[in-house]
Each structure stands twice: as C-alpha cells, then as structure tokens.
Amino acid sequence: MLVLDTIALGGLIAVILGGLTFSSIGYVLTISQTLILAHELLHSLLAASLLGALIESITGFIPMQLTIFLYSMAMSVLVAELVKLKIPRDVVVAIVPSVSAIIAVGSLWGLVRISPLGVSKALSVLWGSVLLITPTDLVYLAAVAVTVMSIIYLFDLELKYISFDPDLAYVSGLNVRAYYYLVYASTSLSLSATIKVFGTVIATALIVLPSVFSLRVARRVNLKIFLALGLLISVPGYLMSILLNIQTSFSIGIISLTVTLIGGALRWSLGR
Amino acid sequence: MELPGSGIEVLDVYAKYDSYYAIEAVTVYLNSPFYTLLLGPNGAGKTTLIKVLVGLLKPVRGRVRVYGFDPYKERTVLSRLVGYLPQPGSTRPTPFMRVRDLVAMGYLATKKPPRYVDKEVERAIFASLRVIGIESLADKYLTELSGGELQRALIASVIVRKPKLLVLDEPLASLDINAKCELIDLLLKLHKSLGMDIVMSTHELTTCTYFEPTVVLINRTVLSYGPARKVLTPENLKMAYPSVVEVGGLTILTEDHAVKG
C-alpha cells in the first residue's frame, strides 16, 4: 500500500505545481508559435543547470535557479536579437547549442574538480531530485506557477494576436518586442523553478510533448486541455515512480511519451 | 481629433532591404477622401511602399506623412488612425483564436493593458462583424475559415476601431472572382458610407472594378498617378508591365514581373 509520508507529499505537491507550470508554459509557447524557442532553450538548459550547480558550489549563496533563469533569458534574447539582425535562423539555432555544449562540459569539469559531491550534483541536475525538495523550493515553485498563469490570464489575447501576425499587431499599437521578452522571461522562470524537480532531460518532454499532443488531437485548443495534460502526465508519473521505485523523471517521461503516442493514434483513428 | 495633415504625402522616398532598393524616388500626394489602388507587377515595390506608409519600414531617404504624422516615429498616434491588412499568405491562423478574439484585439490593441473584453468591447465587436456581414462566424476558429472569410474577419478586426485610413496589401490575391467582387463592394461601402480612405495594392484590375479609383502605377518608382482613366493608358501600362503586347487594338498584359534594375 502506498504511504504518503511528509517527503512523498512534498514531492506530490512539487510534481502538481511543476506539471501545472510546465503545461502553462507549453501553452504560452504553443499559442505564441515559439515552440522552436523551447527547443533552442532546452538545448541550453543542461549548460544553464550545470553552470548553476557549479556557481552554487563555489559561492554557496547564489542559487542554481537564479543562474538557470539568467542563462535561459540571455540565450532567448540572443536568439531573438540575432534573428532580428537578419542572421539566418538555422545559423542562430546552431550557435546556441554549440556555445551551450562548451559551457556544459566546462561546468561539469569544474563541478567534479571542486566538489567531492560534484558527480552526484551533476546527476541530480540531469534527472531531478523530487524527494529532496525543500519547503523553500515549493514556495518558489508555487510563486512561479501563479506568475505564469497570471501572465496567461492577462496577456492571452495579445499573445495570440501577435502570433497570428506580428506586423499587424505592431501596426495596431502593440509593443511586440516586449511581449516576446515576456514569453522568454516566463519560460526561463518556469525552467528555473522546475529543473530541481524534474531534471533537465525530462523538461523537453514535459514542455513539448503535451503541446504536440494538443495540436495533433484537438481541433480547438485551450489552456484547460494543457493543464489537464500536465496533471495527467506528472501525477501518475510520480505515483508510478514510488510504486515501482524508479527515478521520477524517468516514469514521468514514459507517461508523457505514452500520452503523446495515444494522441497520435487518436488522430490516426479519427482520420484527421 | 484635429489632424495636422489632410492625407498621404510621400516625397522622394527610397526604401531598401539589405542593399537592394525596392522603391526609389517615389512621390505621391493623396488628399482625403481617396480610394486608391497601388497597381504594378509582382516585385514592383507595392508592399514596400505599404510598409513605409504603415511604419513597418523606415525609408532611407525622403519624407512620409500620413495625415501629417510620421508613420515610423509617431506609430502610437497613427495606430488609431490607420488600419492595416497584411498579405493573406503572411498571417498564421491558429486553432487557438476565434474570429471574435481577432476583432477584440483590433479594438483593444490601441488601449493600454490590461485588455479585456467587457460589454462595450463586445458591442463594438458585433457591430463590426455586422457591417462586414459575418456575425455568424464570431465563434469560429481562424483555422476553420475560408480565404474570403478570413479576409472579412481581418477587415472586421481593423474597422472595429473606426480608422480613418484602411491600407490593404494584395487583399484580392488567392480569392476567387466572386469573393474578389464581394470584397471590392465591401471596401466601396466602407469608403462611401463610413468615409474611410482606402489604399489597396494589387497587381490586377479585376472585372468587378466598376467604379473609378485613383490609381498609382508603380514599378519601383511611381510611373503615373491620378484618376484611373488617365493613368491606365497603353503607354503607361507598357512602362509598368514590360511584356505588355497589343493585339487588335487591345492592350494585353502577358507577364507579371517587375523590371529589375
């Protein structure tokens, strides 16, 4: 029988909040048609996390989340500005992972060298550590979830309008660049809050796969579908990890992939 | 609102993409009220001129004023006066946005955030949809619309804030002949009954253009402009469309490519 002790309950709250945050940001990226940004960001996420762990180990007071937020934000802005300077998008997309790969390797080397716990810290960055979540992490996670959902509530129409045609939105009076930056900031914020729970590897699956599922199956897409999917993936994934005693991010990944495959099959069977 | 200018003033304007000049030495004056067609072959610089007029592209040389305002520097003021319809193929309809959302944003974009749909906005949305005749499409998603319906939804989203000027980039492209005629009828109605000035780029004169607009004949520079019957002479058309031929007294446009300089 499954016993939800304090640690497991903390983990459950963390995956619920994380699932809601990831599905919200997946919704933002999907309605603003910037899933490609998510792809680029996630390439840089490993570097951001390892660099964050290294800086946290060296300084002892700069939290990993801050580095992840700043690094992700910097990379998003870099991509946006390079594209605006008419540098071909595929060149830009190639630059970001290359730079990030160098930083990831350097940070990993530094982490292993300076800290006796370097290897385990690096591994926890990769696959998350939901059972080591602290009350502070939960508060941060809750604050980020509320922030991202508030952004959606406040700017849903604007993001859809800009995505429909940025030039039309600009001529109509919207500050298009500011809204793109808002998307980057909320994505970076979400990543910084959820990496500790889910790890960098599964973050890709949690942002992109529910979006793919929604776009494949639903004719009309809204936030409720995304939030439901977020919970449908994260909670059973967490419970499965406890029941089978396997890594949480691994079980969440399996559920996420299964849901996406079911979406594909549904679309095929519905003949769309 | 007292406007500092009476129409569109384009004086010796040059605009380019990278090192390629898309328009050169363009000069046009249009005094309100006007219903104007920007006519020229593909690649003639019509879209470039439109982008300059709505402030999307900064000219490298020359002076542009729309009702006395600089479109690039005074965008905020002009966003209330100018409604812009992009080329049909450039928009990305999504399964997230309904027609009523698009029209709502047309109304709300000029306002400060937070932007939300209250009763006043709802009334404006449906008044606009009624004018265009697509009230029944309000809850349809943009991906569920035909090309003609999407064009109408876009027009509804622009006229909802009652602009003084409507700028349309190739609105007739990809529409069938009936949809083209319906759209032209609609624009004429907006021009005559609501007093909107119209600038519309096109590379064709459809058979349903049965009224006389002002025509700006363009091929990287303005070749001629004025009332249609004065501008659309065989000589002018030959200049604009390099492969124009005359058969039995009829002037026929066989190709549709701009002169490359």
pLDDT tens sequence for chain A (272 residues): 455 566 688 888 998 998 898 888 888 888 776 656 666 666 688 889 899 999 998 998 898 889 999 998 888 888 778 877 878 777 877 788 888 889 999 999 999 898 788 788 888 888 887 877 888 889 999 999 999 999 988 998 999 999 899 999 999 999 998 998 888 888 889 888 888 888 887 776 677 776 777 666 666 677 888 888 889 888 999 899 889 988 888 888 888 888 888 877 877 777 65
Residue B61 is part of a domain; what is its CATH number?
3.40.50.300
Using a CB–CB cutoff of 8 Å, tell me whether A81 touches chain B.
no
Domain that holds residue B87: 7-92+163-253
Inside any domain, residue A14: yes
Burial A145-170 (b: 16+ CB within 10 A, else e): bebbbebbeebbbbbbbbbbbbbbbb
Inside any domain, residue A73: yes
| Mean pLDDT to the nearest integer, B231-257 | 69
Inside any domain, residue B129: no
Question: What residues form DSSP beta bridges with B82?
Answer: B165
User: Is residue B207 over pLDDT 80?
Assistant: no
Calpha distance B161→B157 (Å, rounded): 8
Q: How many CB pairs under 8 A join A and B?
A: 87
| Mean pLDDT to the nearest integer, B152-157 | 92
Q: What's the structural domain count of chain B? A: 1
Reported confidence tier of residue B197, pLDDT bands at 50, 70, 90: very high
Calpha distance B127→B136 (Å, rounded): 12
What DSSP element (H or E) covers A118? Answer: helix A118-127
Shortest Cα distance from A173 to chain B (angstroms)? 5
Inside any domain, residue B11: yes
Is A218 exposed, middle or buried, given 0-12, 13-18 or 19+ CB atoms closer than 10 A?
Answer: middle
Calpha distance B152→B249 (Å, rounded): 38
User: What is the pLDDT at residue B221?
Assistant: 94
Reported confidence tier of residue B113, pLDDT bands at 50, 70, 90: confident
Domain that holds residue A110: 6-199
Inside any domain, residue A243: no
Inside any domain, residue B249: yes
Inside any domain, residue B42: yes
Q: Is the ipTM, as predicted for this complex, more than 0.95?
A: no
Out of B18, B106, B144, whose CB is closest to A172?
A: B106
Inside any domain, residue A259: no
| Mean pLDDT to the nearest integer, B232-240 | 84
- Contact between B227 and B64 (Cβ < 8 Å): no
Using a CB–CB cutoff of 8 Å, tell me whether B20 touches chain A.
no
Inside any domain, residue A89: yes
User: What is the pLDDT at residue B163?
Assistant: 93
User: What is the pLDDT at residue A146?
Assistant: 93
Inside any domain, residue B229: yes
Quick one: how far is CA B65 from the chain centroid?
A: 16
Token pair of A124 as six digits: 């926890």
Calpha distance A43→B33 (Å, rounded): 55
Shortest Cα distance from B4 to chain A (angstroms)? 20
Q: What region does A60 belong to: left with phi over 0, alpha with psi -120 to 50, or beta?
A: left
Inside any domain, residue B177: yes
Out of B84, B96, B141, whose CB is closest to A168?
A: B84
What DSSP element (H or E) covers B61? Answer: strand B61-66
Using a CB–CB cutoff of 8 Å, tell me whether B140 touches chain A.
no
Percent of chain B predicted with pLDDT > 90? 52
Using a CB–CB cutoff of 8 Å, tell me whether A181 touches chain B.
no
Percent of chain A predicted with pLDDT > 70? 88
Shortest Cα distance from A272 to chain B (angstroms)? 14
pLDDT tens digits for range B75-111: 888 999 999 999 878 888 877 889 999 999 999 999 9
Reported confidence tier of residue B216, pLDDT bands at 50, 70, 90: very high
| Cβ separation A155–B105 shorter than 8 A | no
Shortest Cα distance from A252 to chain B (angstroms)? 27
Q: What is the mean pLDDT of chain B?
A: 87
| Cβ separation A164–B102 shorter than 8 A | yes
More confident residue, B1 or B217: B217
Token pair of A228 as six digits: 């439901």
Using a CB–CB cutoff of 8 Å, tell me whether A2 touches chain B.
no
Residue A119 is part of a domain; what is its CATH number?
1.10.3470.10
| Mean pLDDT to the nearest integer, B17-46 | 91
User: Is residue B6 over pLDDT 90?
Assistant: no
CA dihedral A8, A12, A18, A19 (to 10 degrees): 140
Inside any domain, residue A221: no
Q: Among A155, A162, A164, A222, pick the best mutation site for testing chain B contact (most B Cβ within 10 A).
A: A164
Name the residue in chain B with its Cα closest to that of A172: B79
Burial A62-98 (b: 16+ CB within 10 A, else e): ebbbebbbbbbbebbebbbebeeeeeeeeebbebbbe
Shortest Cα distance from B230 to chain A (angstroms)? 33
Q: What's the structural domain count of chain A? A: 1
